[in-house]
Amino acid sequence: MTSPEQSTEPSQRNQARQEEILARARTTGRVSVTDLAPALGVSVETIRRDLKVLADRGVVERVYGGAVALESGSFETSLEFRAGRDVDEKHRIARAALQHRHGAETIYIDEGTMPQFLAEELFGQGPATVITPSLPVATRLSADPELTVIVLGGRVRTITRGVVDQWATRMLADLVIDLAYIGANGISREQGLTTQDPSVAAVKRAAIERSRRRIFFGAHTKFGASSLCRFAGVRDFELLITGTELSASEARRFSALGPRVIRA
């Protein structure tokens, strides 16, 4: 007869192995079934079952041959990893976002990977004043002689190289911005726009408050997701720009809240 202690051992082993898989995914961004199986001493089918459990919990996303880590309230993937995902979609979104500039002369560009794609599209497109908390965006656009680039002051976050804290929000309080391009770690109909870090949320909130027009732009994977800190509602934006990878039915659900949804 199996004792209660013995019956819990497989469950504990499964949980420990799944925690190890998640830790590896969060370290590297992506894990492979064929790499995990020999590394953890189990079968490929066992790893696939583990990944299904983790996907059902919403901490990883299944992809061909393995899984990628999903951002959550306490975890954020690196800028380099995000820059390599959904590249074609991000280029399309950035081009579509810039088409809706509509003569704005003072432009706020958020931190993150999508803003870097937008910076590439904006480069060489004529005069403008760009305000940004993103050091990569500022570095790229400062090489354009027709652009005036203003970098917010404050603490630099290592993971995104974005500027946060009270110095940045105080600086924004004195500015008047024509158009803000805002990203998020998640956008949902119930929770609005969210991010992991309260200091990031504060800067985004301040930029939205100081901007006459606001456009959200982000990959389809952001839709339906939510993180720790809410900084805006869906109705705060005139446009939500994403890729055609977002279903038309989901786009209609978001547009019912007020903003126009563009699938590029």
Closest of 195, 197, 196 to residue 154, by C-alpha: 197
Q: Which CATH architecture has domain 4-70?
A: Orthogonal Bundle (1.10)
pTM of structure: 0.77
Fold for the domain defined by 80-263: Rossmann fold (3.40.50)
Give the domain ranges of the chain. Answer: 4-70, 80-263
CA–CA dist 48, 70 (Å, integer): 17
3-class SS string, 178-240: EEEEECCCEEECCCEEEECCHHHHHHHHHHHHCEEEEEEECCHHHECCCCCEEEECHHHCCEE
pLDDT tens over the chain, length 264 residues: 555 555 556 788 888 898 888 888 877 778 889 999 999 999 999 999 999 998 888 778 788 888 887 765 455 655 555 555 678 999 999 999 999 999 999 999 999 999 999 999 999 999 999 999 999 999 999 999 999 999 999 999 988 899 999 999 999 999 999 999 999 989 999 999 999 899 999 999 999 999 999 999 999 988 988 888 999 999 999 999 999 999 999 999 999 999 999 999
